[in-house]
Chain A
Amino acid sequence: MGTSEAEYAAFEEKVKRTVYLDNISPQVTESVMRTALSQFGNVKSVQFIPNYLESRNIPHCALVEMENPKQASVIVKEIAEFPFMILGMPRPVRARPAVANMFDERPAMPGRQIECHWLEPEDPNFEVAKKLKELHGRHTAEAAFLLKKQLEEEEKLAKMQNETLKANYKKYEMVDSVMSDGTARRLARRYNIRVSDD
């Protein structure tokens, strides 16, 4: 199957050209993404990874295919170095090189054959398989818990930052008002301090 191998090779090339971005706001659309990343190179395609399972609206992820692997790696590097924000502050997006399994339409790995068979209850491995199933259930539960925890943490952080921001804003407003209504000047006169810039 020469064609499928070639196809897979082409696909692997594509993977190398692609950047995986997450922590994206749901408001970000494809065009936003394109404009945001076009400063790093030519964006060939943008594909958001749909989220079918998690009940919550977790931050979006996207695969952005660039023109060549170099541009992709530049994006990953730049975004790792400087917090990069798309459509909102201060939560930065995060970029990583894409992995084959992230892609939706991907060719099967050539030379791989899938086998599957039923295990009957009398089979000695049946119990093992049962255990494995249980284990899998536990693992998924653990992963789900971690995800929940992570979202909670993020929420907490966001709330905290919101508080700081508000406080900061209040501070600046107060400084502004003190300056504008003449309080500062009056105080300065009293304490004999020069305030004016002139």
Chain B
Amino acid sequence: MEQDTRTEKLEFTWGKKKGKGGKNKDVQFYESFTFDGEEYTLYDCVYLYKEDEPEPEIGKLIKIWETGEKTRKVKVLWFFRPCEISNFLGCEEVLENELFLASGDGVGLANLNPLEAIAGKCNVLCISKDKENPQPSDEELQMAEFVFRRTFDVGLQKITDKIEGAIAGIDVKFMFNRRDIQKPGGVLKVDLGKNEVCGNSIASNETVVLSNKNSFKENITLETNGNIVDSSTLEKGDLVKHKPSLVEKPAYGVGLNSNEKDKMNEKQEHVSNPKVLLSSEVKSDEGEVKCGKVHAQQVEVEEKVMFTKDNVDSDNRPTKKAKLDNGKGSEQILAKVERKKKCTNVCDSKAKNDTSIEVVNDKKNSSDLSCMNVTKVVSPNVPVEVDHGQSKKPKLESSIEVPNDKSKSSDLKHVNATKVLSSSTSALDDKSKLKRAKDSLGTNNALLKKMKLDDKAMTISEGNNGKLPKASQRKVKHVEDSRGANEESCKKIKLDEKAMAPCDGKLPKVPPTQSQSMAEKVDGQEVTRRPDVVTEALKWRGRRGTQDHAQPFTTEWKFMMERILVEMGENDGDNEHVLLIPTFHTVLEPWEDRIQAAHEQGTLVLLQNLDPAYTSAQVEDILWHGFKESCTAKMIQRTANSSPHYGQALVILKTREAAQKVVRELDKRCLLLSNGRPLVGSFGTPCSSEKKAPFFGHLTIEKLRHQNAREMKEAISTSHCSQPNTIEYDMAMEWCLQQERSDLLWRNLYKVLEIFIVI
């Protein structure tokens, strides 16, 4: 009863009611309550103190209610501390403040507790990479007391990496982070929208609508009126201009309302793409400040908003109606695209085209097959150029594939790939930037590789393959790339003969003269790299990387290097990227010997304070860049005890003077590396291999040694797991303890040191 008296003193009020339950309908469920000045809501994480437990338990509130007898209860889904389940952890790496959410069925999943047992709120963040989980920001991670990303199945007694399905009858989306902690801004907005769905699905509709405010309403009117588009868009154009962010939000709203999970993900991916385009468009337009165009484009923006709205509707209404709406919307859009194309320059229309296409695609995904009908209806309606007709067709096809894809693995990349593909086909037709072509090539390639396309799909890829190189042949290099890609794709898929032939046939074709001038123009904008020595050097470096050190260095190569060196020396900026250095890996003696020899000659230098991720070749590069000294370097391999922050490398220089110079210079001046740390150098002293200190820990009994020695010779090796009833096992345990202890020491040391480094 002590507890009761205590709680009476504490302030307590119920919050939002939820519903009634129980046999006699005398149990009142709640969504929130205030206890001891702190407001708790459902799915909050809390500390619960138990008697005789030093550490408080941590759990998630999944049910709150008051019984007929006026006792307040909470159902708590438990989190496990790693130490509580250490037996099942095995080799899993555990973050320092990581918890494991209970899942599965069995004892220890959840408990009923008196509400008064709650000791306080606990800040637990979900760091699962799940798409539905809004990723926490760095600051939030800093503030979080605990994090979790995995679950512990209490039934199977197993760690599960994925958080999915339902836990204790609660959909996992409630286990993820809540959106209200997210800050609006940048990419986070995506999460913002998404979270609203996750958290309280009922409320989400309201909030979205609220956030959209006026712009949305006007869109609705636009939608209904249809023909008054022109006048209303002008107003709206301004509106959108003022709040591009508003436009973004509805875009996410689309995802919100689709209830099917994977569909939602897909869509969000889709939506995000047009958004990027959209925002960039708006920006570019503002830069141009051509009123007419601005308006035109903003109409487009509006359209998109409307479209998303359509989607929202389509999910709520019966599909028939959705079809209708979508049909109308897409008609308008396409018509507008056409109109705009006439009044704006190629570039703009292209961009618009892309976006609109993407919207169409989105829609297709959202309402599946019905939408395909829509687009089919649309395309004949619009008087498009031949090219566009073509480009739209592949688009259609590619979107057909999307559902397939989805069902297969809901791999977003595929979907994106198809989309980029579709958009870029049109882009190509418009003689768009080469970069796009390149991108699409890559994706195209990936797509081809990954999907088993049916015949229909093949025709698209065929078309693309034909078209893409056409544009990119302007650039020698790109042609190389693209051809490689195409060939690869051809190789990888088992193409039908039919598909194969046109693919190959088209590749070497000379581009039509019509597109040449445009393509050339694009070329002028695109080429940022000069085909000078630097790029050559880059190439060389690339080659060296792939062929490794075994490559014999020809005289040609050396000559090349010399030239590059001269070049580098001339325009050696202070902050220039390290591009290359000549290395001489011809010597193939074992490193121990070489180090020893170098030490004797005084050419061995130990470099410290490197980034541990550097490779030996990169260290050589750095030294070349800093001192113009060629050398052979060897990164010291990390072990369990070495610092995770400091990398070390042994470097053998050509001469003693060079080594002295390096050490002197590094001492007097500071060579700052890209991570902002100065390089530290000293003469290296390798360990002398002669003096072998004994290895501690392997014991033998003196008297038995002779006997053992003979046995040892006979046996190739002995290895065994110790059984827990021997003295050996006890001693092994002592060693394990020792190992753990020193491990902890190392970790703590490096943690302390890390603080210094960060400061």
Contact = CB atoms under 8 A, between A and B. Distances in A.
Given A137-B680, A166-B701, A115 B575 contact: yes
B264 interface: no
Interface in B219-233: none
A158 B732 contact: no
Interface stretch (B466-474, B507-515, B616-624): B616-624
B635 to A, nearest CB: 8
A88 B695 CA distance: 10
A50 B643 contact: no
Contact of B718 (A53, A86, A119, A135): A86
Interface stretch (B124-132, B401-409, B739-747): B739-747
B346 interface: no
B689 to A, nearest CB: 9
Nearest to B591: A50
A26 B717 CA distance: 13
Contacts of A139: 643, 646, 753, 756
Given A35-B717, A85-B720, A113-B577, A118 B670 contact: yes
A164 B692 CA distance: 26
B734 A157 contact: yes
B721 A7 contact: no
B566 to A, nearest CB: 20
A187 B680 CA distance: 74
A85 B719 contact: yes
A80 B618 CA distance: 36
B91 A101 contact: no
B21 interface: no
B91 A154 contact: no
B637 A108 contact: no
A99 B591 CA distance: 22
A146 B736 CA distance: 18
Contact of A91 (B578, B669, B735, B757): B735
A78 B680 contact: no
Interface string A5-49: 001000000000000101101111001100111000000000001
A41 to B, nearest CB: 14
Contact of B687 (A56, A105, A169): A56
A150 interface: yes
Contacts of B141: none
B623 to A, nearest CB: 9
A116 B670 contact: no
Contacts of B650: 52-53
A89 B721 CA distance: 10
B693 interface: yes
Contact of A83 (B641, B646, B721, B727): B721
A153 B671 CA distance: 38
B680 A25 contact: no
A37 B90 CA distance: 18
A87 B613 contact: no
B545 A146 contact: no
A128 to B, nearest CB: 9
Contact of A102 (B637, B698, B701, B727): B637
Given A83-B735, A166-B701, A133 B693 contact: no
B670 A92 contact: no
A46 to B, nearest CB: 12
Nearest to A26: B695
A129 to B, nearest CB: 4
A123 to B, nearest CB: 8
A119 B672 contact: yes
Interface string B715-737: 01111111000011101111110
A191 B20 CA distance: 80
Given A80-B91, A119-B669, A105 B756 contact: no
B696 A114 contact: no
B677 interface: yes
A118 B679 CA distance: 10
B695 A84 contact: no
Contact of A36 (B578, B717, B722, B753): B717
**A interface residue count range (under 10 / 10 to 19 / 20 to 34 / 35 or more):** 35 or more
Nearest to B742: A150
A119 B679 CA distance: 11
Nearest to A110: B545
Contacts of B741: 153
B557 interface: no
A155 interface: yes
Given A117-B575, A119-B669, A119-B672, A143 B637 contact: no
B502 interface: no
B455 to A, nearest CB: 29
A24 B345 CA distance: 71
Interface in A150-174: 150-151, 153-155, 157-159, 161-162, 164-166, 168-169
A130 interface: yes
Contacts of B691: 57
Residue from the set A107, A125, A143 with the largest chain B CB neighbour count within 10 Å: A143
Interface in B613-642: 613-615, 617-618, 621-622, 625-626, 634-642
B91 A92 contact: no
Contacts of B717: 28, 31-32, 35-36, 86-87
B673 A158 contact: no
Interface string B626-668: 1000000011111111110011101000000000000000000
A106 interface: yes
Contacts of B574: 117-118
Contact of A116 (B546, B622, B669, B692): B622
B732 A155 contact: no
Contact of A118 (B614, B671, B692): B671
Interface string A118-154: 1111000110011011011101101100110111011
B669 A101 contact: no
Contact of A86 (B591, B617, B719, B729): B719
Given A102-B638, A157-B735, 9 more contacts: A32-B719, A55-B688, A56-B693, A88-B698, A117-B576, A120-B669, A133-B680, A136-B609, A168-B727
Interface of A: 1, 3-4, 7, 20, 22-23, 25-28, 31-32, 35-37, 49-57, 59, 61, 73, 76-78, 80-92, 94-97, 99-109, 112-121, 125-126, 129-130, 132-133, 135-137, 139-140, 142-143, 146-147, 149-151, 153-155, 157-159, 161-162, 164-166, 168-169
Instruction: In the A-B complex, list the 8 residue pairs whose CB atoms are closest, starting with the nearest.
Output: A91-B697, A88-B698, A76-B91, A83-B732, A36-B719, A90-B731, A158-B696, A77-B90
5 contacts: A55-B687, A59-B695, A61-B640, A130-B670, A149-B745
Interface of B: 90-91, 93, 542, 545-546, 548, 574-578, 591-592, 595, 606, 608-609, 612-615, 617-618, 621-622, 625-626, 634-643, 646-648, 650, 669-674, 677-680, 684-688, 691-701, 703, 716-722, 727-729, 731-736, 738-739, 741-742, 745-746, 749, 753, 756-757
